[in-house]
Amino acid sequence: GVLGAGFMGAGIAAIAAQHGTVVRMKDTDTGRIGRGLAAVRSVIAESLARRHITRQQFADQMILVSGTTDYSGFGNADVVIEAVFEDLDLKHDVLREVEPVIAPEAVYASNTSTIPIGRIAEAAVRPERVLGMHFFSPVHRMPLLEVIATAKTSREAVVTAVEYGRALGKTVIVVNDGPGFYTTRALSAYMNEAGMLLDQ
């Protein structure tokens, strides 16, 4: 399941389909779903244009992706990845809406790059199933995936997220929940040093 059919949500859906996963994208209206499906098609069509896949494989991958404006189909999801705007209240609303619909053993992952996962998990009935899966943009080109665990995240949820990330062809690192996770913290140090060099 992918919550949000925008740039990141569609990118996640596209690579999931390319690796054989049935994907259900949810957004607020059919226009957004249509644009999300068009973005998925564009990513998969790139592989076709480069002759990495055949026309039949293109069709087979596209048929794996569907969209909805409700939560139909989400009860079958093993992993639900939220990719909505970077707003804590919105992320809380989305988590509260979808959690009663998904299976108790499903993993709920936020694609946030800035909001602590522990803060997002505050809205969860099952915080042990909540973690971060921080994909990088554009999703189909960037190999790194950060899996972010809170103090309450279960080992099983982390293992599930890591294995799924590897199944998507990503290089997966597991990090603890903290400001900037790993990559943004490292990038901040580089940017600070670059600024000092520029000043000098």
Q: How far apart are the first and last CA of the chain?
A: 49
Identify the residue whose tokens are 């607020």: 28
* 146 annotated active-site: yes
Q: Can you list the positions of beta strands (E) in 12-113?
A: 23-26, 65-68, 79-82, 107-110
- Amino acid (1-letter code) at residue 116: P
Catalytic residue, chosen from 97, 99, 128, 146, is 146
- The answer for residues whose C-beta is within 8 angstroms of residue 192's C-beta and 6 or more apart is none
Other beta carbons within 10 Å of 27: 23
List phi, psi (to 5°) of 134. -90, 100
Residues with catalytic function: 146
